[in-house]
Chains A and B, each alone.
Chain A
Amino acid sequence: MLVTGLVTLALIAITGLGANLWWTADPQALRPVARLRPPSAEQWFGTDQYGRDVYSRTLYGGRISLQVGAMVGVVSLLLGVTIGLCSGYYRRIDAVVMRVMDGLMAIPAILLALALMALMRASVKNVIFALVVPEIPRVVRLVRASVLSLREQTMVEGARAIGAQTPRILLRYILPALVAPLIVQGTYICASAILFEAYLSFLGAGTPPIIPSWGNIMAEGRAYVQRAFWIILFPGAFLALTVLAVNLVGDGLRDLLKVR
């Protein structure tokens, strides 16, 4: 499972990153003569309403999706771990922080991201921010729960007895025990962020329409579902495959690292 996922993911990453090596046309080049052409030997995935090559755009679109997925995963973990460690260890801020997290958790993730995007300009950076906010409480809860049980263990008591300071205990004794579950959690966050980026773009509240992300390509193709289904079919298939691969990596890591 882990190997299948990793191999698929590597293949998608290579096609995305090296997109300019094997795309057959400039993904932004307009060719009005060749509008809405079905898939053929020259245009493998057909062309869209402006005559742009869907194959090249799909390859290029992978970059945005992978970038957003990876960044959201990393940033949510960093912020979530920081907040969770502090909240789990310092009782005084715990109550306040956890109430705020409860509030954020009670708002469905897509709605929260949409509401945030409604207040920001469309850019990749802002999309990452809007997707990180709903994920943070989930990381914080995981970290805090572990800290609460770990801080009662004898090793922490021992460390305290030999005079270790709190930051040292958090970083050297508690954080290492959290690495495995966090890696697994981060993988799942990455998978859902790739999906949510597409949702935001599809709804017109995501990355700027000029960037051919998978969500944007499909959003532009929706008006032509009846005549040119391929504009939606291929980017969506790539997207589903990518998310599937990341989820498989997550499941594989979970079994490998024996999380839960």
Chain B
Amino acid sequence: MLPLIARRVLATIPVMGVVALTVFALLHLTPGDPAIIIAGDYATTQDIARIRASLGLDRPLLAQAGIWLAKLLRGDLGASIYSGLPVTTLIGQRVGPTVALTALAMLISVAVAVPLGVLAAWRQGSWVDRIVMIVSVSGFSMPVFWLGFLLVWVFAIQAGVLPVQGYQPLEAGPWQFLRHLVLPAVTLSLVYMALIARMTRASVLGVLREDYIRTAFAKGLAPHRVLLGHALKAASLPVVTIIGVGFALLIGGAVVTESVFAIPGLGRLTVDAIVRRDYPVVQGVVLVVSGVYVLLNLVIDVVYVVLDPRIRY
């Protein structure tokens, strides 16, 4: 098992390299001169020249790529054009709220969606199944921020039981922390929930047709033992995959959710950076988030090997 995991870990390195080069290439992929666009509409020729020099855009393309990779290997993501602070520092300041938000949203979605998916599969065609499927299709179709505003309107403005927006770190006490985080986390979790519920249902449905499930029922096992012990266990691999793949959806949703609830996380950092045309910050966040995404899927692949000893790469 160990050499297998080691090989999978090594295979991640080229992917990370390609991601780094892709993020670098974005700057050159877009039409127009990036320096002019970053400088903005009221920039003088000197401003443009200064930005071009500070981003190293005046060097040959290959040299730029080399410098970018070499800096990355040293953990240097460059400095913000707006504040002059290192991008790594900025990301470090903002990472906490985003981690808290996405972790809570992930927890809520898995806790709600997996049981619902199993239930829908077990009672296929019943009203439970239909409701789960309708909610899940709607979950895919609703704009995250709109759902956020709906929840704010109902629970914060009309009922007045939760804060409209804002963020409190865990240090301010767990109660305050959760009170501020619950609406954003529920908002963010809906899409993810829809995705996981759908996948769980489909996967469990496939397993329920197997002979050994019939045997388990026939020997008189309680339904919950068959569903959780036999069916869900066998159906868990696709569900685990979708939890990993769906993380991209979750992080994208987090950018939007943070904007609705004024949470000072990575999403806000990105959006502010875009408004200010602070490209090194945008690049840094994209790179770090993509890195986390690749690593998360690596962890899931490793979990696979542990869950299912048949898997070989």
Partner-B contacts on A (CB < 8 A):
99-100, 102-104, 106-112, 114-121, 133, 191, 195, 198-199, 202-205, 218, 222, 225-226, 229, 232-233, 236, 239-241, 243-244, 247-248, 251
Q: Is the pair B271, A111 in contact by a Cβ cutoff of 8 Å? A: no
A240 to B289, CA, bound (A): 28
Give 15 A-B pairs besides A226-B164, A239-B146, A244-B138 with Cβ atoms closer than 8 angstroms.
Answer: A108-B249, A108-B290, A108-B293, A111-B252, A111-B289, A118-B277, A118-B282, A119-B27, A119-B30, A198-B143, A199-B143, A199-B256, A240-B143, A244-B137, A247-B140
State the CA gap A21–B18 with chains docked (Å): 51
Interface residues of B in 1-48 (CB under 8 A from A): 14-15, 18-19, 21-23, 26-27, 29-32, 34, 37-38
Of the candidates B37, B157, B164, the one whose C-beta lies within 8 Å of that of A120 is B37
A115 in contact with B283 (CB, 8 Å): yes
* Contact partner, A114, options B37, B145, B255, B294, Cβ 8 Å: B255
Pick from A107, A218, A232, A248: contact of B23, CB under 8 Å: A107
Whether the pair B22, A111 counts as a contact (CB closer than 8 A) is: no
Cβ-based interface call for B311 (8 A)? no
Q: Give the Cβ gap from A11 to chain B, nearest Cβ, in Å.
A: 16
Q: What is the bound-complex CA distance between A198 and B279, given in angstroms?
A: 22
List chain A residues, Cβ under 8 A from B145.
198-199, 202, 218
Cβ 8 A contact of B22, one of A100, A117, A191, A243: A100
* Nearest chain B residue, comparing its CB with the CB of A188: B140
A-B contact pairs, 8 of them (CB 8 A): A106-B294, A109-B252, A110-B255, A112-B26, A119-B32, A203-B259, A204-B271, A243-B141
CB neighbours of B256 from chain A (8 A): 110, 199, 202-203
B255-A107 in contact (CB<8A): no
Distance from B207 Cβ to chain A, minimum over Cβ atoms (Å): 18
A203 vs B31: C-alpha distance in the bound complex, in angstroms?
22
Contact residues, B82-124 vs A (CB, 8 A): none
Q: Please pick, from A108, A191, A199, the residue contacting B251 in the complex, using a CB distance under 8 A.
A: A108
B279 to chain A, nearest CB (A): 6
Any A CB within 8 A of the CB of B68: no
- Is the beta-carbon distance between A225 and B143 smaller than 8 angstroms? no
Given contacts A202-B256, A243-B141, A244-B138, whether A114 and B282 have CB atoms under 8 Å apart is: yes
Q: A243 vs B30: C-alpha distance in the bound complex, in angstroms?
A: 28
Known: A99-B14, A99-B18. A106 touches B32 (CB 8 A): no
Minimal beta-carbon separation of B134 from chain A (angstroms):
10
Chain A interface, >50% SS class: helix
C-alpha gap A226/B271 in the complex (Å) = 23
Residues in B with CB closer than 8 Å to A222 are: 149, 260
Interface string of B272-294 (1 = CB under 8 A from A): 01110101001101100110011
Residue B49 interfacial (CB < 8 Å): no
Report whether over half of chain B's contact residues are helix, strand or loop; otherwise say mixed: helix
Q: Which residues of the partner chain B approach A195 to less than 8 Å between Cβ atoms? A: 141, 143
A187 to B138, CA, bound (A): 16
CB closest residue in chain A, given B165: A225
Chain B minimum-CB-distance residue to A98: B18
B275:A204 contact, CB within 8 angstroms: yes
Give B14's nearest chain A residue, CB to CB: A99
Contact B141 A114 (CB under 8 A): no
Inter-chain contact A205/B274, CB cutoff 8 Å: yes
- Looking at B150, B251, B252, the one whose CB has the most chain A CB atoms below 10 A away is B252
Q: Is there an interface contact between B26 and A116, defined as CB atoms closer than 8 Å?
A: yes
- Establish whether residues A119 and B293, one from each chain, have CB atoms under 8 Å apart when the complex forms: no
Query: Is B143 a contact partner of A236 (Cβ separation < 8 A)?
Result: yes
* Contact status A107-B144, CB under 8 Å: no
Instruction: Kindly state the separation between the CA atoms of A121 and B36 in the bound complex, as whole angstroms.
Output: 11
Instruction: Report the bound CA distance from A95 to B212 in whole Å.
Output: 42
Let me know if A107 and B146 touch, CB within 8 A: no
Residue of B with least CB distance to A227? B157
Residues in A neighbouring B293, C-beta threshold 8 A? 106-108
> Measured between alpha carbons, how far is A251 from B142 in the docked complex, in Å?
17
Tell me if A120 and B31 are in contact (CB < 8 A): yes
Residues in B with CB closer than 8 Å to A199 are 143-145, 252, 256
> Is B234 in the interface zone, CB < 8 Å from A?
no
* A244, B141: Cα distance in complex, Å: 5
* Nearest residue, chain B, Cβ from A242: B141
Q: Is there an interface contact between B141 and A247, defined as CB atoms closer than 8 Å?
A: yes
User: How long is the Cα–Cα vector from A3 to B92 in the complex, in angstroms?
Assistant: 50
Residues of B within 8 A of A119 (CB): 26-27, 30, 32, 34, 37-38, 279
Contact status B271-A205, CB under 8 Å: yes
Which interface residue of B145, B157, B286 has the most chain A CB atoms within 10 A?
A: B145
